[in-house]
Amino acid sequence: MKIERKQRVVLVPYPFQGHLTPMLQLGSILHSQGFSVIVIHTEYNTPNYSNHPQFVFHSMDDGLQGIDLSFPSLENMYDLNENCKAPLRNYLVSMMEEEGDQLACIVYDNVMFFVDDVATQLKLPSIVLRTFSAAYLHSMITIFQQPEKYFPFEDSQLLDPLPELHPLRFKDVPFPTIKNTVPEPILDFCRAMSDIGSSVATIWNTMQDLESSMLLRLQEHYKVPFFPIGPLHKMAPLASSTSILEEDNSCIEWLDRQAPNSVLYVSLGSLVRIDDKELIETAWGLANSDQPFLWVIRPGSVSGFQCAEALPDGFEKMVGERGRIVKWAPQKQVLAHPAVAGFFTHCGWNSTVESICEQVPMICRPFLGDQPKTIRKLMLTEEGKDVKKRVVDMKQNIVAAMQIEGTSHKNLNDLVDFISALPSRLTLPLPIVGAIMSSNHIASKCIIES
C-alpha cells in the first residue's frame, strides 16, 4: 500500500539520455514510496511530460540555445553548470516561500555538481545520484590521490597495468588523454564530478552482488551513507518510456516473428558517433553472419551522414527480412524479448545493467568515458569472472534483491527512512560526515549488511 508523504523531493538530471533515464526511474521509485516528485530540467532535451503525469516539471534556462550539444564539449558542461545556478536557486527560493518545510531534499546527477552549491546556500539537504559504475568512480578517485604516479606515461607503457587498478592498463585511464597525459581542465572537471561537497548521501544504480568491494572502498572514502538500489529499471514501477527519442515499437512485432535466441541486437547508445567506415564494416559483418539482427542507427550517429544513408548500396535489399534497421528502439523490451540472443553494445552503464538483468551475452565495443573501464572490470576482475560464471543465476539474484528481504529492497527502505528523517533545513556549518555516520539510521551501514 502506497503511503502518502507530505515531503517533496526535487530531482535535477543531466540532460542526456543515459542520465535522464535513471533519474526519471528513481523519480518513479520515490513517487511509489509516497513522495511528491518535482523534476527541474534544462531547456535542452526536455523530458516528455505526458509520459510522467505523476511528476511536476519545471524548466530552467540553460543559456545554451543555438549551440549543438549532441556531443557536448567540456566548455559546454561547465557552462551548463554555471548558467543553471541562478534559475535553480530562484525556483527553489520561490518554492520554499510557498510551501514552507515540505521540501525534503534535492537529488542531482553527479555531472550537475553546481546543485550542491545552491543547496548549501539554501541550507537544503542534497543527495548525489551516481549514473555510472562504482568501479569507474573508484578508478578516478585512486588516480586523483596521486596523479603524478600515472601521468605522463610513455607509449611503451600503454599495455602495462595501472598501479592499484588491476585489471586496467595505462591505455584504459578513465580520462581523455592528449600525448599520454590528461589536461588539467579535464582533471578539474572530473574532480568536481566525483566530489560530493556537502551532500549527505549517494544513490547508486547498481547492486551489492555486482560491485560490493568497489562500493565498500568508496564508502570508506566518502564517509556518507550509500544506497545501491539498482537495477533502477527493475525497481521502478511499470511506467511510460523515459526516452527522449521516439521509439520504434514496430521492431517488437518483427522480433515476435523470429526464432527464440536467434537475433543479434545492435545499439551504440544515445551519444556515440562513428564514421562511415565503421558503419560499413559493421554492415558487412552483419550481412555475412547469416544471423537475424535488429540494428539501431540513431540520427546523427554517423559523422557526416543522416541515419542509414551511409549504408552500402543494396545492403537492406540484400539482407531482406533477416535484418531490421530502426532509428531508436525500446531497449528494455528488446533485451527482454525471447528472440534476442546477443547484444552488440557500447557498454554504457545502463545498457550493461539491462543486459545482465536479462542474461543477454554482450559483444562489447566501448568508445568513451566509463565504457572501456566498465567492460574491462566486468571481463577481468574476480567479481566480473564470478558474474560470468553465474550469468544464468544473475536474473534470479536480481529478482531476489528486489524482494522484501533482498538487498536492493532493504536499501530502498533505508533510503526512504533516511529522506523522511532529514531536517527541513540544515544548520551551517555542515558536519555532514560526523552527523550522518554517528546517527541511528541504518542507512550508514546499508551496503555492509546483506
For residue 167, is pLDDT > 80? yes
Give the pLDDT score at 393. 65
| Helix, strand, coil percentages in the chain from 3-state DSSP, rounded to 5 | 45, 15, 40
> Which residue among the candidates 52, 62, 109, 337 is catalytic per the annotation?
109
**Tens-place pLDDT, residues 144-155:** 889 999 999 999
* CATH number belonging to the domain at 250-396, selected among 3.40.50.2000, 3.40.950.10, 1.10.10.10, 3.30.70.890: 3.40.50.2000
For residue 399, is pLDDT > 90? no
Give the pLDDT score at 361. 85
> Which residue among the candidates 19, 31, 138, 337 is catalytic per the annotation?
19
- Kindly compute the dihedral angle of the four CA atoms of residues 336, 343, 366, 165, in this order, to the nearest 10 degrees: 70
For residue 436, is pLDDT > 60? no
- In this structure, which amino acid lies at residue 236? A
Percent of the chain scoring above 70 in pLDDT: 85
Over residues 123-142, mean pLDDT: 94
C-alpha cell at 366: 566501448
Q: What burial class does residue 217 get, using C-beta atoms within 10 Å of its C-beta: 0-12 exposed, 13-18 middle, 19+ buried?
A: middle
Give the pLDDT score at 6. 61
Q: CATH 3.40.50.2000 spans which residues of the chain?
A: 8-230+403-445, 250-396
- In this structure, which amino acid lies at residue 63? G
Over residues 196-207, mean pLDDT: 96
Q: Which class would CATH give 8-230+403-445? A: alpha beta
Q: Give the distance, in angstroms, between the CA of residue 221 and the centroid of all CA atoms in the same chain.
A: 21
Q: What is the mean pLDDT of the chain?
A: 85
Q: What's the CA gap between 242 and 24, in Å, rounded?
A: 7
Told to judge if 19 belongs to the known catalytic residues of this protein, a careful annotator would answer: yes
Looking at 73-82, 175-184, 224-233, which range is the least confident one? Answer: 175-184
Residue bearing cell 511530460: 49
More confident residue, 90 or 175: 90
φ, ψ for residue 246 (rounded to 5)? -75, 125
Per the DSSP assignment, residues forming a β-bridge with 56 are 38
Percent of the chain scoring above 90 in pLDDT: 58
More confident residue, 22 or 347: 22
Over residues 103-128, mean pLDDT: 97
Within a 13 Å sphere around the CA of 225, how many CA atoms are in the beta-carbon half?
Answer: 30
- pLDDT category at 297 given cuts 50, 70, 90 is very high
- pLDDT category at 1 given cuts 50, 70, 90 is low
Told to judge if 233 belongs to the known catalytic residues of this protein, a careful annotator would answer: no
